[in-house]
Structure 1
């Protein structure tokens, strides 16, 4: 297994993993955007060395983590570029094996290099394993904020 920066060649596998994770109906609220939209984002990620990483085993994409600046996530304000917004997905076959922890460790280290002062993520209240992971690496629950409905009716929680 190798963890490396996201490349444009990862887009088909990235899209497929997102589609499978969304289909589970319990982890993420939205299906993936079209691959041409993902290409636009990944090109920016590559050009600006934004903290985005994939775990691969040969051609198989096992997981990914992305930390985008607030300015790419609809945030405005003078310091929006200093806040990172983290998303992570791990293939069902590779969950609870330490891959998420390792991807997050690398992404957090690179986020510091990138200049982010804080990182925020959203997690389902019912995703207890993920919440334990996030708390174990320093994220704190800061409430539900602008929580929105998820596919299974659960709510989103903010952590920084």
Structure 2
């Protein structure tokens, strides 16, 4: 009887450990995962990018440039974040709005260099921590700067 009781306690501890481990395990995603759940990249017809600090605002409608930007963003590695993001919220921040069929579908706002705030057209809002410095700010800076000199994309 004592062995059965010990076995049940041991089994309960293992099950509890597995359940807690699964619950607290960070769920790593990429922006590509989020894109696949919220938009069909083939139907994206416009991307709006605003550099918060630079003030550069670009509206991109060229399909090749849209695909290039989405491809670059798809590689951003994220983990959902529930902590405080108040520190350095606007330093190096970008607003990126993705339009599908002329309607804003996905809103991405960088919070400093470490976080992304993502909202979809269903008004769901989540905050993610950027992993491995995978959000390429230099690329965004290049896109907004380059596009300010080329009128075909504006």
User: Could you tell me the TM-score, scaled by structure 1's length?
Assistant: 0.29
Larger relative CO (CA 8 A, sep 6+): 1 or 2? 2
User: Could you tell me the TM-score, scaled by structure 2's length?
Assistant: 0.30
Question: Structure 1 or 2: larger strand share?
Answer: 2
